């Protein structure tokens, strides 16, 4: 009996590895013979670094500039010549001192410093997860950290010679305009309506400068507005490829290779909602499992709260959802003490899907 638990973190509550451990304990209470394989995953935002390390990458510590210039302890995950860099861990909202937004001054420079450290260490493939950004600088800070000047193209080409950059990106916003980085994400980073206008104008000027220097204008490319415009800089100046975050992370952690012989796949994230259906971890894991696993293998989800209807879950390939709030109506308690509840959900999942399957096969 083989059970795969490939869950994202429950943000602000419990890490992906802890979700797997707790669910696994519950499953084994019902099926002591079960082998539970933990595969922590992420969608390219915060948690990407942890998922890579849990899958066998080595953490290489780096001290870099935080979003407001203070030094923070971050790093990249390395396996061979591949480096995984998580923007959120160095230039993200979680790194703002005291949680105070800095919409007009926050920078992506620290992410460029971590990328530079990875390249200096001999890495030739850089996987960059760009969710959770605190800045709207168009990626200028990131690029400047690589060469000392954001538009020194000869120096940048030399710096990136022989290096492939792949960006985990799950949004299709352009850099500027009403659906651009400033208009859509600026308010989430603390920008007032007036500041949004100012930031969008600054991004337009930056895009003009890049277009003049490179001979191509990529401001309207889907994904250019990701992470406050880091997507734009990655495309226009680093020659990066943009790929869906969960798809990229599943490749990194070897998810597909673990599916052979699996009897059940459990995925999860803190909240199942409309966003889940558009490239988040649960939908990505379910799609990958359906493509590789044996026909009919149950794919279920654990979560803190479920806001999706059964037919929406089925459309994403998820047979059923098991929420902490099914067991405990106090959301604060679910957040503070999720592990015992996850263990109980693991028991329910095993009863509903593993014992039933054994009976149907004539084994139990």
Q: How many CA atoms lie within 13 A of 167 on its CB side?
A: 30
* Most confident by average pLDDT, 41-55, 102-116, 241-255: 102-116
- CATH code of 2-40+260-360, in short, is 3.40.50.10350
What is the Cα–Cα distance from 40 to 250, expressed in whole angstroms?
A: 9
Map out the domains of the chain as residue ranges.
2-40+260-360, 48-246
Give the model's pLDDT for residue 358. 46
65 by DSSP, 3-state: which? strand
Q: Choose among 137, 220, 238, 144: nearest CA to 175.
A: 220
pLDDT tens track for 224-241: 999 999 999 999 999 999
- Contact between residue 229 and residue 136 where contact means Cβ atoms under 8 Å apart: yes
CA distances from 311 to 6, 301, 305, 314, 317 (A): 22, 14, 17, 5, 10
- pLDDT, greater one: 359 or 177: 177
What is the Cα–Cα distance from 296 to 293, expressed in whole angstroms?
A: 8
Give the model's pLDDT for residue 106. 97
Compute the chain's Rg from CA coordinates: 21
What is the Cα–Cα distance from 286 to 3, expressed in whole angstroms?
A: 14
Q: How far is CA 285 from the centre of its chain?
A: 13
Q: Choose among 46, 173, 45, 187: nearest CA to 103.
A: 187
What is the Cα–Cα distance from 261 to 263, expressed in whole angstroms?
A: 6
pLDDT band at 222, cuts 50/70/90? very high
pLDDT band at 356, cuts 50/70/90? low
pLDDT tens track for 57-97: 999 999 999 999 999 999 999 999 999 999 999 999 999 99
Give the model's pLDDT for residue 213. 96
Parallel, antiparallel, or unpaired for β 125-129 and 82-86? parallel
Q: How many CA atoms lie within 13 A of 39 on its CB side?
A: 27
Q: What are phi and psi of 278, to 5 degrees?
A: -120, 65
The rounded percent of the chain whose pLDDT value lies above 70 is: 97
Give the model's pLDDT for residue 10. 94
Give the bridge partners for 127, in sequence order. 84, 166
Lowest mean pLDDT among 184-188, 274-278, 355-359: 355-359
- pLDDT, greater one: 359 or 307: 307
Domain 48-246: CATH superfamily is Glycerate kinase, domain 2 (3.90.1510.10)
Q: Choose among 227, 225, 240, 210: nearest CA to 174.
A: 225
Q: Which residues contact 15 (CB under 8 A, 6 or more apart)?
A: 9, 40, 47, 50
209 by DSSP, 3-state: which? helix
Mean pLDDT to the nearest integer, 270-283: 89
Return mean pLDDT, the chain: 93
Give the model's pLDDT for residue 291. 86
What is the pTM (predicted TM-score) of this model?
Answer: 0.89
pLDDT tens track for 7-22: 999 988 999 889 999 9
What is the Cα–Cα distance from 62 to 57, expressed in whole angstroms?
A: 15
- Contact between residue 44 and residue 304 where contact means Cβ atoms under 8 Å apart: no
The rounded percent of the chain whose pLDDT value lies above 90 is: 84
Q: How far is CA 61 from the centre of its chain?
A: 20
Q: Choose among 314, 310, 319, 322: nearest CA to 349.
A: 322
Q: Which residues contact 314 (CB under 8 A, 6 or more apart)?
A: none
Q: Find the farthest-apart pair of alpha carbons in the chain and give their distance in angstroms, rounded.
A: 70
Give the model's pLDDT for residue 212. 97
Check pLDDT > 90 for residue 297: no
Q: How far is CA 265 from the centre of its chain?
A: 20
- Contact between residue 106 and residue 96 where contact means Cβ atoms under 8 Å apart: yes
List the beta strands (DSSP E) in the chain: 2-7, 35-38, 58-65, 71-79, 82-86, 125-129, 164-168, 241-243, 264-272, 299-306, 320-323
- Contact between residue 231 and residue 138 where contact means Cβ atoms under 8 Å apart: no
């Amino acid at each position: 009996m083989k059970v795969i638990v490939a869950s994202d973190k429950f943000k602000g509550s419990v890490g992906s590895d802890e979700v797997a451990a707790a669910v696994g304990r519950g499953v084994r209470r019902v099926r002591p013979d079960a082998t539970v394989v933990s595969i922590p995953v992420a969608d390219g935002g915060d948690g990407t670094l942890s998922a890579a390390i849990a899958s066998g990458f080595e953490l290489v510590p780096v001290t870099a500039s935080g979003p407001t210039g203070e030094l923070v302890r971050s790093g990249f995950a390395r396996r061979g010549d591949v480096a995984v860099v998580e923007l959120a861990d160095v230039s993200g909202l979680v790194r703002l001192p005291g949680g105070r937004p800095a919409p007009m001054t926050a920078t992506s420079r620290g992410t460029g410093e971590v990328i530079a450290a990875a390249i200096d260490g001999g890495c030739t493939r850089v996987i960059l997860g760009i969710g959770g950004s605190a800045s709207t600088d168009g990626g200028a800070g990131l690029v400047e950290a690589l060469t000392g000047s954001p538009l020194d193209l000869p120096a940048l080409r030399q710096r990136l010679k022989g290096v492939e950059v792949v960006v985990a990106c799950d949004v299709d916003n352009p850099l500027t305009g009403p659906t651009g980085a400033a208009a859509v994400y600026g308010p989430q980073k603390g920008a007032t309506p007036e500041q949004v206008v100012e930031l969008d104008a600054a991004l337009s000027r930056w895009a003009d400068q890049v277009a003049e220097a490179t001979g191509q204008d990529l401001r309207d490319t889907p994904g250019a507005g990701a992470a406050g415009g880091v997507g734009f800089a990655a495309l226009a100046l680093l020659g990066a490829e943009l790929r869906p975050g969960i798809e990229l992370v599943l490749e990194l952690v070897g998810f597909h290779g673990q599916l052979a012989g699996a009897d059940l796949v459990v995925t999860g994230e803190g909240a199942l909602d409309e966003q889940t259906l558009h490239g988040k971890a649960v939908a990505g894991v379910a799609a990958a499992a359906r493509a590789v696993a044996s026909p009919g293998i149950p794919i279920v989800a654990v979560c803190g709260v479920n806001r999706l209807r059964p037919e929406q879950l089925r459309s994403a390939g998820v047979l059923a959802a098991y929420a902490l709030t099914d067991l405990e109506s106090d959301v604060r308690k679910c957040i503070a003490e999720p592990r015992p509840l996850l263990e109980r959900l693991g028991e329910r999942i095993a009863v509903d899907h593993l014992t039933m399957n054994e009976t149907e096969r004539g084994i139990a």
